[in-house]
Amino acid sequence: MSSGAPVITIPLSSPFQDQKPGTSGLRKSSRRFAEPHYLESFIEAVLRTLPGVAGGTLVVGGDGRYGNQRAIEVIARMGAAHGLARMVTTTGGILSTPAASHLIRQRQAIGGIILSASHNPGGPEGDFGVKVNGSNGGPAPESLTSAIHACTLTLDGYRILEAGAGAAGVSLAAPGMQTMAGLTVEVIDGVSDYLALMEKLFDLDRIAELLRSDFPVVFDALHAVTGPYATQLLEQRLGAPAGTVHNGIPLEDFGGGHPDPNLTYAHELAALLLDGDRYAFGAACDGDGDRNMILGRGCFVNPSDSLAVLTANASVAPAYAGGLAGVARSMPTSAAVDVVAKELGLTCFETPTGWKFFGNLLDAGRITLCGEESFGTGSDHVREKDGLWAVLFWLQILAERRCSVGEVMAGHWARFGRHYYSRHDYEAIPSEAAHGLYDRMQGMLATLSGEAFAGRRIATADDFRYADPVDGSVSEHQGLRLLLDDGSRVVLRLSGTGTQGATLRVYLERYEPASGQLGLDPQAALGDLIAAINALAEIPARTGMDRPTVIT
């Protein structure tokens, strides 16, 4: 690698207008990212805005999707031009989001750039994304993403090390050190540090014993980033048979699939557990490895329930045996964890959607566990949700309890009662129709209190507002809530991560005490709430859809 390549400034005739980072960074189609200067101008804004770039260390990697390696090359050349001292990246550029979070913290980096569009499809016709994380390892706070966006709006050029001639490019083929002008590019194996962290949190030997004792497990990596992590962890470290990890080779287009671990997109795994009886436990993670889905034989674990179960059983994991500081859930997540927290005497925080809101609580030591209904669970070990961590936590509980997933759930509901819960997603609605529906409901909120709804009364109708207990910052308009007099709830939100049209999310919840009916089908149990919100918000008429795209 040569250090003689000159830094050049590429002028931009006009700045891009659509580089506003959303809930999870800048997420656009791969085609958009392929346009000349598009990726570069966003990276320029990041390098100008992120504190400490000159002389600092930056962690860079991604979920292996189309565009990942090219982006690493661009970031290296631009980092060198901005005086970055060290870039830590990985073989093949493969780095899961939780592993990136850990690496940022471990290396005391100024932050990281994660190349992923999470669970969105990949490939030249799919999506790409650039997510910026701060020095605590967590998603950039609003203040930083707004500053990056403001910078993109006035950009007149970007600085980059000239390609060709002097700079031979970064080789991601094997671990090693390379230099590029004043920049050291350190290529490491992206899996081993993460595995060492898991080794500290859990009693892996005990899980290995479980896996040897007629407890067949299956993991679906959906051809995304967790393949190499899961193979090393489950098959090599824990001794599960070869072939336990399905679709374990990361592919640039995820094999044409949609790497989202839910019953719709991970249907092969779902069928293995729900229609067959070969496996006692099944799990999947998403494109970048931060989401998880947990299944038992004939049993799907709702993510809201999963957080409650982990909280109730936390003491089985060495890392949490000393007790929890507190817990948090996102507002649309069911209150199952609240009931557990109350019984255990823990504070339970309710935050807006998006992992970044947990960051302050974690940094301040106010919570240990947190989660979202959208298949995200995590703890204070990193500042992102962590898919494989959740899988290991469940296996730790099963290793201790020596019962089935179904029995864990039945026992949990018999003790704490059951929160019937479902999310209905209406995807790719024309933006105008979605906003029309949402704005109408928002405008009606003030008139809804006291009104009849699905045989109950609406006790409170509001637009969720969050005052951060750590720094006092206030986030308004975080979702429309109808809180009913029997403790049931319906919440409406518009997605901040979709890339086509708009996505409406409808969250439905009803509580059944431990003495009540615990074995109903959730869609049936929530049927009256579903019918009532469809009518009140005019969902079929306004979306033109008579059923949701995805039901969780």
**Residue 443 tokens, joined:** 């405008």
CB burial class (10 A; 0-12, 13-18, 19+) of residue 263?
middle
Active site residues: 118
**Candidate list 127, 260, 288, 305; residue touching Zn ion; CB under 5 A:** 288
Residue closer to ligand G1P by CB (options 372, 380) is: 372
Helix (H, G, I), strand (E, B) or coil at 246: strand
Question: Length of the chain, please?
Answer: 552
**Candidate list 286, 338, 373, 384; residue touching Zn ion; CB under 5 A:** 286
Helix (H, G, I), strand (E, B) or coil at 183: strand
Say which entry of Zn ion, ligand G1P, none residue 288 contacts (CB below 5 to 8 A, set by partner kind). Answer: Zn ion
- Per CB under 6 A, does 57 bind ligand G1P? no
Alpha-helical (H) ranges within 250-386 are 267-274, 303-312, 336-344, 356-363
**Candidate list 351, 396, 495, 552; residue touching ligand G1P; CB under 6 A:** 495
CB of 482 to Zn ion, least distance (A): 29
Hunting for tokens 């308009």 — which residue is that? 477
Helix (H, G, I), strand (E, B) or coil at 544: coil
**Candidate list 355, 393, 413, 507; residue touching ligand G1P; CB under 6 A:** 355
Residue pair 109/88 in contact by the 8 Å Cβ criterion: yes
**Candidate list 97, 116, 118, 152; residue touching ligand G1P; CB under 6 A:** 118
Neighbours of 108 (CB within 10 A): 9
Residue closer to Zn ion by CB (options 33, 215) is: 33
Residue closer to ligand G1P by CB (options 128, 355) is: 355
User: How far apart are alpha carbons 35 and 38 in whole angstroms?
Assistant: 6
CB of 214 to ligand G1P, least distance (A): 36
**Residues in region 6-35 near ligand G1P by CB under 6 A:** 23-24
Q: Give the chain's end-to-end CA distance (angstroms, integer).
A: 50
Residue pair 395/212 in contact by the 8 Å Cβ criterion: no
- The one-character DSSP state at 214 is S
Provide the mask over 288-327, with x wherever binding to ligand G1P is found by CB under 6 A and - wherever it is not: ----------------------------------------
Indicate the helix (H) or strand (E) that contains 439: helix 431-448
Provide the mask over 360-389, with x wherever binding to ligand G1P is found by CB under 6 A and - wherever it is not: ------------x-x-x-------------
- Per CB under 6 A, does 505 bind ligand G1P? yes
Residue closer to ligand G1P by CB (options 203, 373) is: 373
- Per CB under 6 A, does 354 bind ligand G1P? yes
CB of 222 to ligand G1P, least distance (A): 15
Neighbours of 200 (CB within 10 A): 10
Q: Which residues bind Zn ion (CB under 5 A)?
A: 118, 286, 288, 290
Which positions lie near ligand G1P, rule CB under 6 A? 23-24, 118, 330, 353-355, 372, 374, 376, 495-498, 505
